Amino acid sequence: MGPRSNSITEDKVIQGLSKVSSDERIFRQWHQKFLSAMGQVKEESQEMLEGIVNLVDLGKTPEKATEEIWNTYGVQWSELSREVYKVLIDKADGEAYEKIKGIPAEEGGTAYGVMYKWFTDVSGLGLSEQTRRLM
């Protein structure tokens, strides 16, 4: 028997994560569960993904936010970014999937930033988060 592939999508925590589609009302909850699940699978991933979210909330593009995370974490981020992409492709449906399907697999951080920005723009979550941080 050959070596078994340990894809992140095979992890129980990730398998238990619900799908996300175009319902911005449930995105906030899904987003928190996604960050938590990723943090359980790879401890440092939650910190890196929160970094992208924080930068996007501050007005950076998803691409620029991902670049800044790369500059901070380097190779560790590159490995995680591919894993994030696998999870997003597996868990995104409908419009959420359409937003990220054309992004290259090695740019999972950008894909998450794009998805997060789209949902926050649609729901107003981004503005309320920015206001909360300013206070």
Beta bridge partner(s), residue 20: 92
Beta bridge partner(s), residue 92: 20
- Model pLDDT for residues 50-105, shown as the tens digit of each residue: 999 999 999 999 999 999 999 999 999 988 999 999 999 999 999 889 999 999 99
Rg (CA), the chain: 14
Query: Model pTM?
Result: 0.83
